[in-house]
Structure 1
């Protein structure tokens, strides 16, 4: 016990709903990695990505859980609540993609060359990874902003949307890098600039919030975030119009998927992914702007 009569260990970090969610994350993450390493296996870029997701999320969750139990997070010079909810949101998204990518590329109706036992292990991996999505989602649900509670910005809907926006941008970058032929036209190069600029500023907003240094800035951070969200929405709106025109219009691109285009190495597929997720991020930025204005209005009217 410390001089003030408190306990060194934080029992609520284990016995609370949040603690139970993190324990489930660790158990499911460890099980998933063990199954993959034992017999399920992974290969190629998609398998390496899935394994990275499971290892990365397990490692960070273990650090978060340990520091929460030992109360050592008070020694870390960051906004702990903002960091944990941001990571939980990111881990949820990463697990969702891994839970989709792994069975798509490693599961089939027929037994693989390694044997039917390997297929069973891969099914188990998919199930554990999918269930772990709900464990991380439960942490986001438990730590999100609730009426009447004082929470960090990242726990609000606007803060969580920032994490989703950055993650969607990463998917766009992955598709762009996969032979998307974006450098054939200047307008599509402009779209890449839009994606890069919005991603960079969004990451800076998240980093500044997690660092807990927003109050030391020489300008009103909340107003900057709202203005940036509005500008980002306009930029994504322009990209949502320009990219499909210069990718699928007959004058500049191909309306339909070429029949001789190999799976996984087809520029048309990459262009389609970019187009779809550009629309997704446009909706996310618009929702973020609407929510930010609502929060500002409520705060102003309640004074």
Structure 2
């Protein structure tokens, strides 16, 4: 028999800015999925990606809202605040990508063969996807740690949010590597792929440790020092990969600095190499920013057993 006083449902899940943002996420996700399945449609790998991203984010939002409204999150062996802000940041990136990819491949100024209704539905899908992006971004903004606060939820800091972006960019790199990049031609490019994988795994380890509440001392160092050491190592590795990959892909001795005329668009190894090179520099910049910001963090390890919400 439950003898705990107070209401069983968490009113803040509805009557708060954070609750309003999550309700908007649910409304946008439901609208997008309904319109795509009803009339807008999708096809090809680009459409499958967009639909998978929307469905994943919608399912995650339903689960988060339900657990927060019923306070059942307290039964989970995780840091709830870190988990939700990580999910919101990842969903924001997915929605941003889908909001660009879907209209790029499916929205045209002229009516398709199926009629103007299909085009109008696709425009509405794009608008709702953009609104969903804003809703998830609002949750990240509401949960983000403010300057001067004691840092308890690491994933709510700029450094923690950068970890999510770094992992997302690494997934883009992996997709380009797997798409006819011909990375296995040289030992140097194989080294670059190994760097991308290692840094991604290291980032994932930090995120998982934070979400699971394992943020006490790591061997002989504190958690915030451990994060700085890992980030410095990732900066050095990405610096080497960002130099080596372009040399062995675009230098005339090993490849071509210009796009070959016989290379079909969308099925060209040169395009994949360019994507990997560009996002290698992007992730290098993100790790440098992470390293700079990490110097200012003094993390306070939370007591998981005392996490509660009004």
TM-score by length of 2: 0.92
DSSP-derived class of the 2:169 partner: helix
Q: Where does residue 208 of structure 2 map in the other structure?
A: 207
Distance in 1 between residues matched to 2:151 and 2:196, nearest whole Å: 33
Distance in 2 between residues matched to 1:5 and 1:187, nearest whole Å: 63
Deviation at 1:197, TM superposition (A): 0.2
Q: Where does residue 48 of structure 1 map in the other structure?
A: 48
Cα deviation, 1:222-244, whole Å, max 9, x if unaligned, reads: 22211110010010001111111
Deviation at 1:175, TM superposition (A): 0.5
Cα deviation, 1:164-219, whole Å, max 9, x if unaligned, reads: 10000000000111101111111111100000000011111101110112327434
Q: Which moved more, 1:142-151 or 1:220-229?
A: 142-151
Deviation at 1:6, TM superposition (A): 1.3
Structure 1 residue 160 corresponds to structure 2 residue 180: no
Distance in 1 between residues matched to 2:100 and 2:275, nearest whole Å: 15
Please give the residue correspondences for 1:89-100 in structure 2 after superposition, counting only pairs within 5 Å.
89-100=89-100
Length, aligned pairs only: 298
Q: Where does residue 276 of structure 2 map in the other structure?
A: 274
Q: Where does residue 198 of structure 2 map in the other structure?
A: 197
Cα deviation, 1:45-101, whole Å, max 9, x if unaligned, reads: 111111010000000110100111111110111000000000000000011111111
Structure 1 residue 243 corresponds to structure 2 residue 245: yes
Structure 1 residue 172 corresponds to structure 2 residue 173: yes
Q: Where does residue 75 of structure 1 map in the other structure?
A: 75
Q: More helix per residue: 1 or 2?
A: 1
Q: Where does residue 224 of structure 2 map in the other structure?
A: 222
Deviation at 1:149, TM superposition (A): 5.1
Q: Where does residue 306 of structure 2 map in the other structure?
A: none
* Structure 2, unpaired ranges of 5+: 301-310
DSSP-derived class of the 1:215 partner: coil
Deviation at 1:131, TM superposition (A): 1.4
Q: Which moved more, 1:102-111 or 1:72-81?
A: 102-111
Q: Where does residue 136 of structure 1 map in the other structure?
A: 136
Distance in 1 between residues matched to 2:199 and 2:213, nearest whole Å: 21
Q: Where does residue 61 of structure 1 map in the other structure?
A: 61
Deviation at 1:30, TM superposition (A): 0.3
Q: Where does residue 187 of structure 1 map in the other structure?
A: 188
TM-score by length of 1: 0.94
Distance in 2 between residues matched to 1:167 and 1:149, nearest whole Å: 27
Q: Where does residue 121 of structure 1 map in the other structure?
A: 121
Distance in 2 between residues matched to 1:184 and 1:167, nearest whole Å: 26
Distance in 2 between residues matched to 1:114 and 1:49, nearest whole Å: 22
